[in-house]
Amino acid sequence: MRIAVNGLGRIGRLVVRAITSLQDSKLELVAANSLAESDIIAHLLNYDSTHGKLTNRFQYNNNYLFNSTSKISLFRQSKPETIPWGKENIDIVIECSGKFNSKNAAIAHLTAGAKKVIISAPCENADSTIIVGVNDHLLNSNHNIISVGSCTTNAVAPIVKILNDKFGIQCGHITTVHAYTSDQNILDNSHKDFRRARSCFASIIPTKTGVSTSLKEVIPELANCLDGSSVRVPTSNVSLIDFTFYSHKTLTVQSINNEIKESAKLANMKDILDIAPAPLVSVDFNHSKFSAIFDPYETKVVGKNLGRIVAWYDNEWGFVHRIIDIVKIVELCCRDER
C-alpha cells in the first residue's frame, strides 16, 4: 500500500514519524505535500518538543526526505488536484492539512490520481466516518473518502458505546478539557473565535467541539441525546474527557468501573482502551497510543441513574495511531476484494 500525506503540521508530521518507525512492508510512505521548505520539515520531524527526538533521523534535499529505511518524495502544491499522486501510484492520501475536510474538497486528491483519501478530521458528507473499536466493521472497499473523526471522538466513542450497550444512555453531556493547539494564539491576536483569539498560555478558554456531531454518525442510536463542549487549558498535549450521563438502568460506581474494565479486555478494544493503574495526571499519558485511558478513580454516581466518568487521551499520538489503524483496515479490505 503506497501512502502519501498532505499537510505536515502537528498531525501530518506525527503520521510520518509513526508510519516510518513501524517498518511494515504493507505500508509504504512514499510521498508528502507541504508548502514548507525541506530543511524545516526535516528538522521538525527529527526534534519534537512533545514527543522527543527521532533516533533514525531524516535528511533532506529539495525533492526528498530520507533516512536509513525510508525515502519520501516531497511536493509543494497548494491545490490537491495538481499533486502528482497518479505518477507516484498512490493508494491512500492521508489528508492532514486541515484545508480539505469536505468531501467535495478531498475528491481533488482522487482527481490527482490517488485511490482513496483518509481525512484526519470530521467530515459530515464522507463516504464513512470510522472510529476504531466502534464501527470499523462497516468500512468497505467502496468507501473512497473516509473520515477518522476527531481525537476527542476517538476517545469518547468507545466508552459511550460500552455504557450505552450495558446501561442505556437517555442523555448526556461531554466536556473535553483539551490541551491547546496551533489553531490558538500564543499572544492575544485576531481570530474568528473571540475566545481562541486570546493567549493560550494565559487563560482557561471555553470553546466549541464537534464531538456530538461526529458521535451521531458513529453511534446513530444516540443522535440528539448527547451534546458537548470544550475547555482549552495551558498544556501542550494530553486531554481529558468528562462525561456525565443519565441512564435507563440503575448505576453504581462499581458497576460502571467493572463494565469498562471488562470491556477493555476484549479483542476489539486492544490498543484502543486502557485503564489508569493509579491516580495519575496528564503528563503521565503523554505518547500513549490508546484512544482513551479510563480513570476509575474519578467515577461518580448521584442517585440511581446519574453517572460521571473521566478518561484521558493523548490527542496527538493516540489519534495518529487510529489513523494508521484505518489505513491498515483499508489495506485489508482492498486485499480481500482482489
Flag whether 132 is in a domain: no
* DSSP-derived pairing of the beta strands 47-48 and 306-313: unpaired
* Spatial contact of 26 and 1, defined as CB atoms under 8 Å apart: yes
The candidate with the shortest Cα–Cα distance to 45, out of 76, 68, 12, is 12
pLDDT in tens, 182-232: 999 999 999 999 999 999 999 999 998 888 888 999 999 999 999 999 999
Does residue 267 share a domain with residue 193?
yes
Let me know if 244 is exposed, middle or buried by CB neighbors in 10 A (0-12, 13-18, 19+): middle
Residue 122 above 90 pLDDT? yes
pLDDT at position 332 is: 86
Does residue 179 share a domain with residue 274?
yes
Annotated binding residue 210: yes
DSSP-assigned letters across all residues of 224-258: TTEEEEEEEES-SS-EEEEEEEEESS---HHHHHH
Does residue 269 share a domain with residue 167?
yes
Q: What are all long-range contacts of 278-286, with beta carbons under 8 Å and residues at least 24 apart?
A: 280/312, 282/179, 282/235, 282/238, 282/239, 282/240, 282/312, 283/238, 285/238, 285/312, 285/313, 285/314, 286/50, 286/51, 286/237, 286/238, 286/314, 286/317
Does residue 210 share a domain with residue 117?
no
Examine the fold and report which residue of 83, 104, 121 is the final residue of a domain before the chain moves on.
121
Residue 76 above 60 pLDDT? yes
Does residue 198 share a domain with residue 109?
no
The model's pTM is 0.95
Does residue 181 share a domain with residue 84?
no
Does residue 90 share a domain with residue 193?
no
* Spatial contact of 260 and 296, defined as CB atoms under 8 Å apart: yes
pLDDT at position 219 is: 96
Does residue 311 share a domain with residue 170?
yes
What is the share, in percent, of the chain residues with pLDDT greater than 70?
99
Annotated binding residue 152: yes
Report residue 161 as a C-alpha cell: 458505546
Taking the C-alpha atoms of residue 59 and residue 254, their distance in angstroms, rounded to an integer, is 53
Q: What is the 3-state secondary structure (H, E, C) of 305-325?
A: CEEEEEEEECCCHHHHHHHHH
pLDDT at position 38 is: 96
Q: Tell me, what CATH number does 299's domain have? A: 3.30.360.10
pLDDT in tens, 181-192: 999 999 999 999
- Give yes or no: 200 in active site: no
Of 151, 171, 200, 333, catalytic? 151
pLDDT at position 64 is: 96
Q: How many domains does the chain have?
A: 2
Flag whether 326 is in a domain: no
Residue 338 above 60 pLDDT? no
Taking the C-alpha atoms of residue 311 and residue 276, their distance in angstroms, rounded to an integer, is 9
pLDDT at position 335 is: 72
Flag whether 221 is in a domain: yes
What is the share, in percent, of the chain residues with pLDDT greater than 90?
93
Domain hosting 37: range is: 2-121
pLDDT at position 99 is: 93
Flag whether 292 is in a domain: yes
The candidate with the shortest Cα–Cα distance to 2, out of 107, 119, 89, is 89
pLDDT at position 337 is: 59
Query: DSSP state, 206?
Result: E
Residue 269 above 60 pLDDT? yes
Annotated binding residue 176: no
Annotated binding residue 209: yes
Does residue 294 share a domain with residue 165?
yes
* Spatial contact of 129 and 101, defined as CB atoms under 8 Å apart: no
Does residue 109 share a domain with residue 45?
yes
Q: Tell me, what CATH number does 35's domain have? A: 3.40.50.720
Region 96-123 average pLDDT: 95
- For residue 180, CA distances in Å to 195, 200, 272 come to 12, 6, 23
Residue 168 above 90 pLDDT? yes
Annotated binding residue 232: yes
Q: What is the mean pLDDT of the chain?
A: 96
Annotated binding residue 334: no
Does residue 71 share a domain with residue 185?
no
pLDDT in tens, 26-65: 899 999 999 999 999 999 999 999 999 999 999 999 899 9
Does residue 213 share a domain with residue 172?
yes
Residue 336 above 70 pLDDT? no
Flag whether 253 is in a domain: yes
Annotated binding residue 90: no
